[in-house]
Amino acid sequence: MVFMSEIRVPTVFTRIIAREIPADIVFEDDRIIAFRDINPQAPVHLLVVPKTEQYRNVSELASRDPGLLADIIATAKRLADEHCGGDFRLIFNEGEATGQTVFHVHAHVLGVLPGDALAEESLAH
């Protein structure tokens, strides 16, 4: 007998990794993928996502694979260097109360385009 709790529906990010859903992919290696958020909250808004969907949030990832978490942060920094002058805001939502909607751990990388003073102000709080 198969219980409902045993049936795992692939997350939207797993479907992006499998190229079932299109995305603007900016980086990919064997363990991590990064792409532009479909609903950007800043001039630069990237999502950095481990390919495994076994960790629902950053606390699970930190306790079970801290090396992968470090790689996600290093990737965020490299992408910020490429896309927004090196400065960035890094956000992990954890739990529905914070607005987490995709339970496949991911880092939001928010930044502004270098020299865009108005956008810089909007992110500086």
Residues at the contact surface with ligand 5GP, assessed by CB under 6 A: 12, 21, 23, 35-39, 47, 93, 99-102
Q: Is 106 a catalytic residue?
A: yes
Rounded to a whole number of angstroms, the minimum distance from the CB of residue 107 to ligand 5GP is: 9
- Tokens standing for 62? 């930190």
68 or 91: CB nearest ligand 5GP:
91
Q: How far apart are CA 43 and CA 110, in angstroms?
A: 8
Rg (CA), the chain: 15
Residue 44, classed as helix, strand or coil, is: strand
Question: Contact at 8 Å (CB) between 20 and 11?
Answer: no
Shortest Cβ 57–ligand 5GP spacing (Å): 9
Instruction: Give min distance, CB of 23 to ligand 5GP, in A.
Output: 5
Q: Which is nearer to ligand 5GP, 47 or 48 (CB)?
A: 47
Please state, in angstroms and rounded to a whole number, the distance separating the CA atoms of residues 26 and 46: 8
Annotated catalytic residue within 45, 83, 106, 108: 106
Annotated active-site positions, please?
106
